[in-house]
Amino acid sequence: MPLDIIYNMKREMFRRGLSAKTITTYLFHVRKFLDFAKNKPLNTLSKKDVREFLCYLQSKNYSGSSLNVAHNALRFMMIEILHKGMYLKIKFSKIPKKITEYLTKDEVTRLLSSIKNEKHFVIAALMYGAGLRVSEATQLKKEDFYIENSIGWVRNGKGGKDRPFIIPEILKEKLSRIAASSSGYLFEGRNSHITARSIQKIVSDAGKKAKINKHVHPHMLRHSFTTHLLENGEDITTVQGLLGHVHPETTLGYSHAVKPRLIKTKSPLDSLLKNNHL
């Protein structure tokens, strides 16, 4: 396998600030493509080879989302690294998204009330109260918190970006106590920070104890945070910023909370021309 193309592609993606996950995924697909092409000389690779590879993946029942990612990885390689033309008008159908599961406000209250360990309570309450991903909660450090200003920071979050989050007033005292006893990571584990698996167990056990008839998992707290903000009438762009969504369409995906508000919104044309018969 031509190692130089892998090295050059990795270096270029690092230079552009792509996330570690994206880099790993792109390189995985490029390696599979080069194996499929039987190590053809790089200068002979063409969009025909790419099309045949994608058709091969499709025959192996790859999902539409995975095929689109593979297509993007190979486009990056061909255009940015090999400087070849690579226009393929292909877009594979994605699997329809499942309806977002979330907890009602009553269920959140019951879930949090069932957690008696203070540290575990703060972890779950902060994930809901600030809309944090489980991976973000595990990486929090005491210096990421400006408690007096009610602001915390997710460092190097999804997409390699930093973003602020709100610190719930009700958690300030407890967070200050935990931070005072932490040496680095806010939520410490045996060796460094608490693991995602540990948080999953905390939330899952709390859901069972609270007798919530849903598959309760940490990301459901983030979904619930989003849903409840939108239900409360919070502006969509504000919620988008708090969640770290790059595209507003992602936030609009919470249609169960957004649609009722949009339906109730009246067009200004109706009030302007109400008494005019056109």
Which residues belong to the active site? Answer: 133, 158, 219, 222, 245, 254
Q: Which pLDDT tens digit goes with each residue over 252-271?
A: 566 565 555 554 556 565 56
What whole-number distance in Å separates Cα of residue 105 and Cα of residue 123? 18
Instruction: Express each pLDDT in 50-102 by its tens digit.
Output: 889 988 888 888 887 888 889 889 989 988 888 887 766 666 655 555 667 88
If 0-12 CB within 10 Å is exposed, 13-18 middle and 19+ buried, where does residue 93 land? exposed
CATH topology of domain 105-264: hpI Integrase; Chain A (1.10.443)
Please write the tens of the pLDDT for every residue from 94-115: 555 566 788 999 999 999 999 9
Q: For residue 17, give the DSSP letter.
A: T
Q: What does the domain layout of the chain look like in residue ranges?
A: 3-81, 105-264
Among the listed ranges 173-182, 205-214, 225-234, which one has the minimum average pLDDT value? 225-234
Q: Nearest 5°: CA angle at 123, between 118 and 129?
A: 115
Would strands 145-146 and 151-154 be described as parallel, antiparallel, or unpaired?
Answer: antiparallel
> Does pTM surpass 0.95?
no
Q: Looking at the domain 3-81, which fold is it? A: DNA polymerase; domain 1 (1.10.150)
